[in-house]
Amino acid sequence: MRTAYRGLTRTERIIMESKRRRTAEVREQIVIIILAVALAIALSVLFFGRKVNAEGADHKDKCYVSVQVKETGSVTDLAKEYYSGEFKSVERMAAEIKHINNLGSDTLTSGLFIVIPVYR
């Protein structure tokens, strides 16, 4: 190492050695930061990338189907026909059908197309 500093004063050698050490420290810090960021990304992908369901839970997705009313009836009759427990009651399902289809009354005429929420 002394040959690298040949011809330099003692103060210049100390300055050069300090710069070399500081450059090495900065490189180490950059490597540590990059590794920490990579680890944080990997952990967040593992943690947030999973779809977690409670054990034994039967998860169903809410979908919408369009049906044509065959004979004149009511929204409540239609709700009874397509009812599933996720709606908690036939009345709630009927209210949602009326809301989705922008219906003012409970009466349905034949030939009308109605959108119905279902869970699958």
> Using one digit for the tens of pLDDT, what is the confidence trace for 66-89?
999 988 889 999 999 999 888 889
> CA 34, CA 95: separation in Å to the nearest integer?
54
Count CB neighbours of 5 within 10 A. 14
What sign results for the dihedral spanned by CA atoms 83, 84, 88, 93?
Answer: negative
Specify the CATH architecture of the domain 62-119: Roll (3.10)
Mutual angle of helices 75-82 and 90-100, in 10-degree steps: 120
Provide the residue ranges of all domains of the chain, joining segments of one domain with +.
Answer: 1-52, 62-119
Cα distance from N-terminal residue to C-terminal residue, the chain: 75
Out of 7-11, 16-20, 23-27, 90-94, pick the least confident: 7-11
